[in-house]
Chain A
Amino acid sequence: MPLREVEEPSGRETRLVVLVVVVALAVLLLLARFRFPSADLTVVVPAPGPLAGLAARATFDEMASAMAGLADRVEPSIAVLDIEPVPPLEHAAAGRGAAPVSPRGAPRSPAVSPTPTPPPPMPRRPHVVAALRIRSDLVVAYVGAGMRVATKEGEPAAEVIALSADPAIVILRAFAPAVSIAATVEGFAGFSYAGVVDVTPGGPTVQPTFVGRADRVEVVGWSRSLISLGRSDIPAGTFVFSIDGRLIGLAIRSGDSVSLVPASALIAAVADVPPKVAGPPTP
């Protein structure tokens, strides 16, 4: 058929185009009225480039890359918390008064290991510690003996709840940082690399460490066993994460060494804290 003899697009063609476009738009507008059921994207390690598997890389480069990735993943859940020494008079009154929250479950039998000796006092000067969002309305931090959460001038004091199992661990009712931890490690057995998350005045930072032997110890006051690391180079008050961004636990002083409060123990400890009930609207 000579191409010149093909007629201009006829009415049929135009009607077909209009029909298809109108129907497509109408259906699209109708479907756009429905909201997508909310679901969190799972934390996924970005796929490596096509040549990543072929290129030989130095081990330290991989560790640096892993730490940088870990920092990106945990930063939304970590806040910088200012703490200050408790004045002596207030420290004495606090010892007589408060009713802290108890973790779930009865204390362990006398067959458990004795309560660890009180940890040596933290530096008695204002400094910053890491606070981790453990629940949508709660953050947890290790402030150490003789320290308290600093109150910033002009800002209302945050609601602070101390754990009876270890008064050096505090829970704050706060709504920042914005993201709760996404996943935790169950049954940490040691002998793996981990990231120690601490804070500087500028923000969170991560240090790599190799965790060797990790023994379970029963401690009075905790419904779950703690993890004894038998070493003291992990600073107390830091949070230990696995390389893929899952929380292993909170480092606390335990005698001359450091123990980890496992993530499950922390979560169980805050489970008894009731959520904040919205009060009556202010006039």
Chain B
Amino acid sequence: MTHPPRDVRRREIGGQDRLDRRLGAPPPPPSPLAWLLSLLRTRSALGMAPSLTPAVIFLPLGALLGPRGLGLLSARMLERLDLVVAVALTVLGVLVGVALGREIRSARRLFVAASLESFVTIVTVTVATIYFVNATAVPIGAPLVVFALALGLSASASSATSADPDFEPAAAVATRVADLDDVLPIVIAVAAFALLPAAPPQDLWLLAAAPIGVGAAVGAIGWLLFERAESTAERAVFVLGALALAGGAAAYLGVSPLAIGLVAGLTWTILPGRADRIVQDDLLKVQHPLVVLLLVTAGAMATPSVAAAWLLAPYLLCRLAGKTLGAWFSARLVDVRPADLASYLMPPGVLALAFALNFRQALGGPAGDLLLSTVAIGTAAFELFALAVLPHWRRGATV
């Protein structure tokens, strides 16, 4: 199994950039107090080191700054940020597409394993949510199947940030699985958008074809422009312009920006030339601020409610069960211990919030807020769970 270039891995958050690689990975803390103090390290808080994910820091920070806290991020400002969120989701989709384009040629078995693990998680959380909402009569304010599917897609995301792939072989495999297990949820999200009540039946073909058409068009535009830029600044303008075009088109058409970004990233990787490397190099510069933006925005938009607390039960329990079961099935395909694979895939990362933000824009109203709140609280809970409990699952983990 060939290994992809190192900078492909962990492309979403916590990934090491050039500065991290020069400085080297920090040693693990020797005592509980030192471990606690390490949580406050700047590099960890910004996601530059694998010991802490930024969700634990920036989700509560967003809630504090948001309309229900200090009010520094007002409701009006959050409405303006909706378009920026759409562009940010497109960027995440591009990163997934680039990873898919590189891995699919050399590691089809890995892709199948990742999709299988993701599928099991989606089905588990979706079915559990449908049963739970029917049994408890939680008011969700949206079609139950769509809402449950949106929750299931958010639950399927993984970030594999709890260990450095350079030090643990199983982590290297898990990181690649985490990169690829976002593809199936993005594809299913395209179908989920067609089930939304606001989607006119006569436009279903548009909702299905638009991500492919627009993504391919943006991909073609970027492929023609990126390598012909005469300077680094001009190239950056072209890259950001293409991403803004993709995000804006997604917002205008009401389709998933993640899907458009996936197709665009895949196009840049498949087509000859260096468009994929150019995009990746330029996106590395904005990767961390983008993640911080998404997390703070999600924290500010989250609306704690009794209904969100009730929905945490199927989300937390069945995501745990789904990831464990999915890893048990997939581990056979990638020759990794199921417990190791499950533990690395447990942290949801920013992709879970990306799905939730995407569906919040589509569902709108109380249903969208309810979905985002549930996923935000669940994400923070799973990140803490991954830090505190999961290392004990792994056999022979370094301490």
Contacts and interface: CB of A to CB of B under 8 A. Distances in A.
**A and B co-occur in one complex:** yes
Interface of A: 1, 3-4, 6, 8-9, 12-14, 16-17, 20-21, 24-25, 27-28, 31-39, 41-42, 44-51, 53-54
Given A35-B136, A50-B361, A54-B83, A17 B328 contact: yes
Contact of A16 (B169, B324, B364): B324
A37 to B, nearest CB: 7
Contact of B307 (A13, A20, A36): A36
B199 interface: no
Interface string B314-343: 100110110011001001101111110000
A24 B331 contact: no
Contacts of A20: 320-321, 324-325
B139, B310, B324: most-surrounded residue (chain A CB, <10 A) = B324
Given A17-B325, A47-B368, 4 more contacts: A39-B306, A44-B366, A45-B365, A50-B83
Given A17-B338, A24-B318, A31-B132, A50 B85 contact: yes
Interface residues of B, number: 47
B335 A32 contact: no
23 contacts: A1-B169, A6-B337, A13-B328, A13-B337, A16-B324, A16-B338, A21-B325, A25-B321, A27-B317, A34-B136, A35-B137, A36-B136, A36-B310, A45-B365, A47-B82, A47-B361, A47-B364, A47-B365, A47-B368, A49-B361, A50-B86, A50-B251, A54-B83
B320 A41 contact: no
Contact of B331 (A1, A9, A35): A9
Contacts of B188: none
A36 B137 contact: yes
Interface of A: prevailing SS: loop
Interface of B: 1, 79-80, 82-83, 85-86, 128, 131-132, 135-139, 141, 169, 248, 251-252, 254, 306-307, 310, 313-314, 317-318, 320-321, 324-325, 328, 331-332, 334-339, 361, 364-366, 368, 393
Given A6-B336, A41-B366, A51-B248, A28 B132 contact: yes
Contact of A41 (B141, B254, B310): B141
Contacts of B136: 31-32, 34-36
A242 B332 CA distance: 62
Contact of A48 (B79, B131, B141, B317): B79
A1 to B, nearest CB: 6
A129 B287 CA distance: 61
Contacts of A38: 137
B244 to A, nearest CB: 12
A137 B112 CA distance: 59
B176 to A, nearest CB: 13
